[in-house]
Structure 1
Amino acid sequence: MAATQVGWIGLGSMGIGMSKNLQKHLSKAGSPSLIYTNRTLSRGELLQELGAIPVETVKGVASKCDIIFSCVSNDAVLQGITDEIIASGDIQGKVYVDCSTVHPDTSKTVSNKISAAGAEFVAAPVFGAAPMAEAGKLIFVTAGPPTAITRITPYLSGVMGKSIIEMGPDVAKSSLTKIAGNICVVSFMEVISEAHVFAEKTGLGSPTLEKLLSDMFGPVIESYSKRISTGIYAPAPDGKAGFDVSLAIKDARHALNCASGVGVKLDVSGIALDHMVKAQQLQPGRPLDSSSMYGAIRYESALDFFTDLCKKRDGSI
């Protein structure tokens, strides 16, 4: 029986770390090397150095692979990739696994298309930022046919992630779970940003607040606080965001859309969305992290968008 060939599509801030860990696992197991593609293929140079094999197109990956993973920026890109996979030839018996954060309706549409073409689809969005992807510590939320879940599980826990939350056969459930988690994350970030601005304006000071957050709520909340205190919220003009604010805006809009459909108000998510959009308006063309809502809240509170730490880093003071 031929060895399983695994493929990867998408090398953004999450995909690059995930695919590197997958290739390391395949190499250690003596399995065929990962075949990958990306819109900018040169982004995979480090992956290629680990032994992975680049190809020019999605069709090239799909035609060669038995299991195909993707991690892409938005719903439209996922839909386009799905169409290319189906157009690659006979995909009977293959498994397509998408790790992106998309609307539940998109997951259902993709699943229907893939199933109609004779393959199986697994929605497998992940919890965790780029450093967790690099460290192989992501949390996967999987939904899809049990046979497909069984085939992909050896590549998830202990390889790209630390755990798996299984949601059954309905692919919409994994997307909804990810959206529920994002409601918490964006709300935490909004509240922590407001608290930091409060601490600065009252003279309490951000270091004191961060110590309180760490001691009282633990390392996860402390990590959100450090996105503010270390200047991650607003990278240098030539830098790159850990999680781009445009993606966080997309995720927040998905949450608000799903909530509206069932008659639920997400007040904090709505406020956070407004602040992220405001941050983009205040700093057009500049790389901004999802936590850049902090800069918008600073601006609304008569503070500079950038902290002194950011300005010193950028050489503006």
Structure 2
Amino acid sequence: MAEFADNVAFIGLGAMGYAMAKNIRKKMSPAGTLYIFDIFRSACERFYDEMQACGPTVIADSPREAAELSSTVVSIVPGADEVRQVFLDTATGVIAARSNPERLIFECSTIDSQSTQAVGEALLVRGTGIYVDTPVSGGVPGAESGTLSFLIGHSKPSDTNPISHRLEKVASMMGDPKKFFYCGKLGAGLAAKISNNYLSCSVLLAVAEAMAIGTRSGIDEKLLHQVIHHSTGQNFMADNVQPVPGVVPDAPSSNNYRLGFKTQMMIKDLGLAVQAGYATGIEPTIAEAALRVYEKAAVDPRCIDRDGSSVYLHITDPPQKPTE
């Protein structure tokens, strides 16, 4: 529907989604309308007040309404249940919007591959649009700076597939094209994301434990960080999400564990990793062990709603069990 070609719907204005939607509104056609929806209307109202000067923005009452007049839909919500609600609810979901086989649907949430395949196939049958799993990596800082990585469940851009060029164009409003990875087919982007998250969540816990062991053995934390950085233990999480406060100035820990990725969300991501492991015949021993620690940290008041690196607080001073 050419008359709606410049319109975009954005569903899910959480910490990541809010920043991603801001970049879209700044970079999309000024003639296009951005339709926004979130279950917390206050987030939509805050976005509207902040961004209305950048171009037309409309607060929708449902995902269906947001998608109705949009040629592109972007969604990022907490989990598979929310994805199904957004897309498949027969009254308020995107599937209830008018048919448009050329509507391009970006699903940026991190969920299991099987769920995304089921949702994509249902939308395709209904003629709602082309649904592509496009999970992102880079956290809130990457969302704010527009430098996210995209793991895309679709083939690489080619002249024989116009959709692939639209994928690249829309993703470029939120991410860095040098970090776009085309994984081939629906669900494959999520398979790659889950494998990555297996590592990032587990390695973060390993860094926290290693730093705790070293510092309690009498090594200065900044010196220990430098040793690891210049030795075989060097890794992204130690360098950028260092869990010990005051070691890496820009790390969440040095900023009162400013939220990048909630501790509670570690449970979801590691749970998906464990599920994927068993589904593929691999016993996910490390993810299972890390999951048990994060499950305890997720109910520790010092870690709740703070960056996942706050697990360091939990392992260095675990809550005392109440005495009987």
Shorter-chain TM-score category? 0.7 to 0.9
Aligned to 1:280: 298
Return the match for 2:80 from 64, 75, 78: 75
Q: Does 1:113 align with 2:131?
A: no
Compute the RMSD of aligned alpha carbons.
2.5
Aligned to 2:15: 13
Q: Residues 12-33 of structure 1: CA distance to partner in whole angstroms, max 9, x if unpaired? A: 111011111111101xx43413
Aligned to 1:104: 113
- Aligned residues of 1:142 and 1:165 also touching (Cα < 8 A): yes
Separation in structure 2 between the aligned mates of residue 277 and residue 235 of structure 1, nearest angstrom? 23
Separation in structure 2 between the aligned mates of residue 54 and residue 111 of structure 1, nearest angstrom? 25
Q: Does 1:243 align with 2:261?
A: yes
Separation in structure 2 between the aligned mates of residue 229 and residue 268 of structure 1, nearest angstrom? 25
Aligned to 2:202: 187
Q: Which runs of 5+ in 1 are unaligned?
A: 304-317
Return the match for 2:187 from 166, 172, 194: 172
Aligned to 1:196: 211
Separation in structure 2 between the aligned mates of residue 259 and residue 235 of structure 1, nearest angstrom? 34
Return the match for 1:132 from 138, 142, 148: 142
Q: CA deviation at 1:233?
A: 5.6
Return the match for 1:257 from 255, 275, 286: 275
Q: Does 1:223 align with 2:255?
A: no
- Aligned residues of 2:241 and 2:252 also touching (Cα < 8 A): no
Aligned to 2:169: 154
Separation in structure 1 between the aligned mates of residue 112 and residue 296 of structure 2, nearest angstrom? 23
Percent sequence identity is: 22
Q: Does 1:209 align with 2:224?
A: yes
Q: Residues 237-263 of structure 1: CA distance to partner in whole angstroms, max 9, x if unpaired? A: xx9732112222111001111101222
Q: Does 1:57 align with 2:67?
A: no
Separation in structure 2 between the aligned mates of residue 39 and residue 233 of structure 1, nearest angstrom? 30
**Number of positions where the alignment pairs a residue of Structure 1 with one of Structure 2:** 295
Aligned to 1:311: none
* SS in structure 2 of the partner of residue 14 of structure 1: helix
Q: 1:219 to 1:77 in 2, by over 3 A?
A: closer
Separation in structure 2 between the aligned mates of residue 284 and residue 229 of structure 1, nearest angstrom? 14
* More off after superposition, 216-225 vs 245-254: 216-225
Aligned to 1:40: 40
Q: Which runs of 5+ in 2 are unaligned?
A: 156-160
Q: CA deviation at 1:5?
A: 1.2
Q: CA deviation at 1:185?
A: 0.4
TM-score (norm 1): 0.84
Aligned to 1:94: 103
Separation in structure 1 between the aligned mates of residue 254 and residue 310 of structure 2, nearest angstrom? 6
Q: Residues 160-186 of structure 1: CA distance to partner in whole angstroms, max 9, x if unpaired? A: 111210011x21211100011101101
Q: Counterpart of 1:138 in structure 2: which amino acid?
A: L
TM-score (norm 2): 0.83
